Homo-oligomer: A and B are copies of this chain.
Amino acid sequence: MGKNENYVKDITNIEEDFAQWYTDIVIKAELADYSEVKGFIAYRPYGYALWENIQKYVDAEFKKRGVENIALPMLMPEHYLTTEKEHVEGFAPEVAWVTFGGGKELEERLYIRPTSEPMFCRMYARWVKSWRDLPMKYNQWCNVLRWEKETRPILRSREFFWQEGHTMHATEQEARELTLEMLNVYADTIENFLAIPVTKGQKTNLEKFAGAVDTYTVETLMHDGKALQAGTSHYLGQNFTKPFGVKFQNKEGKEEYAYNTSWGVSTRLIGAIIMAHGDNRGLKLPPKVAPIQAVIVPIQMQKDGVLEKCQEVFNNLKETFRMKLDDRDQYSPGYKFNDWEMRGIPVRIEMGPRDIENNKCIVVRRDTAEKIEVSLDELNEKLAWLMEDIQQNMYNMCLENMKNKTSEAHNMEEFEKNLNENQGYIKAMWCGDDACEEHIHDVTGAKSRCIPFQEEKIDDKCVVCGKPAKHMVMWGRQY
């Protein structure tokens, strides 16, 4: 079949209109649906199961590192928002205000959390007393709300789900180490669990979190060459602990403000899975995160013994793999093949009367469309191998896409030309001035993604002003 052929009816061609292709996948694979409240979506079971799997993985990684879960109020009083100068500038325009409760107008308006630094700090101020209490490493899984103007299902909804970790430390060094430790948890999750390569680095001054001293990021590249910030970890220093009063008595008996971090990943990761891996057949899920890892489609289901044998194989496999047996009688096998491909199930198992007679089945990989004949005696073993291999191959395909879409620019002409031809990441040197960064955005629409930890020196001079360069920066248009 040709490269541009649509395998599934009604899904927009991925190369022609990526944005519409994305929306088609979200709706038709039944990940989520629009609600009647603008910018708010409903997660359907298949989409929410992805989030549950991500939560389970990440939460276990947190707990290994001594992070404990708590839950704080979703509403905060107006004066919390206005206490930290940069924070209010960053978030005030996009909060939602509760003004009435229990039939009465409130004396002080409450805002629904867009993020909870102020609330965490006010609670920590009650809980942290001595250096012996530190570090305190708390996280919450919750909903937050940001009144975005442009919304897109899952990727940018007004309400979204995330975890926000907030920690308190007795020293700057320990807080900075924790900031990077959590960034590494995110990098590991995205690379090894979601099969998407990341670039780790530091955000520039213009792109850092409103209120942070330093922001670190894991950046990913989507199929269309646009970048997606997949997770961030902030060293907040004492920027919040001073105005919100988080003090402790240090070993010398003196009062000191605590050193603070925060870090988060959200349901945007589901958007990343869709856009990094999907193709013209539809969604393509890495086995580790897939809610269904393999589906059995019976062929000539009405024939004696077929469904029974399929059921037997299903029962054998379901302890080891997340399995589905598609015994719907209103659809043909062909319809089912398309349907499950569109939903991104990593492996399809086809079993008809002749296969059963020969004690075998046909296994079809979602990533390569390869068909393999497998003896039923070896199916369990083969599936285990396939899950590993598909996971790895999907990572490799993503990495290949990223490499193909990454280029260097030594001047602005080259920058624009590469970006317009190839989208993707542009590597270019930068003098460190906000003005040059703004210039790039004004001219090309690209923003700095990060100063990668693995810096390369590709030139001496800033790509904009020609002054001596301080850093190599990855640039790109973004989601």
Q: Is A75 a contact partner of B45 (Cβ separation < 8 A)?
A: no
Q: Is B33 a contact partner of A45 (Cβ separation < 8 A)?
A: no
Q: Which of A94-102, A187-195, A332-340 is near enough to bind chain B?
A: A94-102
Tell me the minimal C-beta distance from A109 to chain B in angstroms. 8
What bracket does the count of chain A residues touching chain B fall in?
35 or more
Q: Given the complex, which residues of B lie within 8 Å of A145, measured CB to CB?
A: 74
Given contacts A45-B138, A73-B41, contact A94 B102 (CB under 8 A): yes
Q: Residue of B at shortest CB range from A123?
A: B42
A28-47: CB near B (< 8 Å → 1, else 0) gives: 00000101110011111100
Tell me the minimal C-beta distance from A82 to chain B in angstroms. 14
Q: Which of A63-71, A301-309, A405-413 is near enough to bind chain B?
A: A63-71
Identify A48's interface contact among B48, B71, B101, CB under 8 A: B71
Q: Residue of B at shortest CB range from A330?
A: B132
Copy number in this complex?
Answer: 2
Given contacts A43-B70, A45-B68, contact A37 B75 (CB under 8 A): yes
Given contacts A96-B98, A101-B96, A149-B102, contact A35 B69 (CB under 8 A): no
Tell me the minimal C-beta distance from A56 to chain B in angstroms. 11
Q: Is B69 a contact partner of A48 (Cβ separation < 8 A)?
A: yes
Given contacts A48-B69, A98-B96, A123-B42, contact A74 B143 (CB under 8 A): yes
Identify A44's interface contact among B70, B76, B122, CB under 8 A: B70
Q: Is B35 a contact partner of A122 (Cβ separation < 8 A)?
A: yes
Identify A93's interface contact among B49, B103, B147, CB under 8 A: B103
Q: Given the complex, which residues of B lie within 8 Å of A147, measured CB to CB?
A: 101-103
A86-114: CB near B (< 8 Å → 1, else 0) gives: 00000001111111111100000010100
CA distance A52 to B62 in the complex (A): 15
A107-141: CB near B (< 8 Å → 1, else 0) gives: 00010100000010011001100001000001000
A142 at the interface (CB under 8 A from B): yes
CA distance A41 to B71 in the complex (A): 9
* A73, A147, A159, most chain B CB atoms within 10 A: A73
A72 at the interface (CB under 8 A from B): yes
Mark A residues whose CB is within 8 Å of B: 33, 35-37, 40-45, 48-49, 51-52, 68-77, 93-103, 110, 112, 119, 122-123, 126-127, 132, 138, 142-143, 145, 147-149, 158-159, 161, 330
Known: A35-B123, A103-B147. 15 other contacts (CB 8 A): A35-B72, A35-B122, A36-B77, A37-B110, A42-B71, A44-B127, A48-B69, A51-B71, A73-B159, A74-B145, A93-B103, A97-B98, A99-B100, A101-B158, A143-B143
What 8 A-B pairs are tightest by C-beta distance, nearest first?
A102-B147, A40-B73, A45-B68, A97-B100, A43-B71, A96-B101, A101-B147, A99-B99
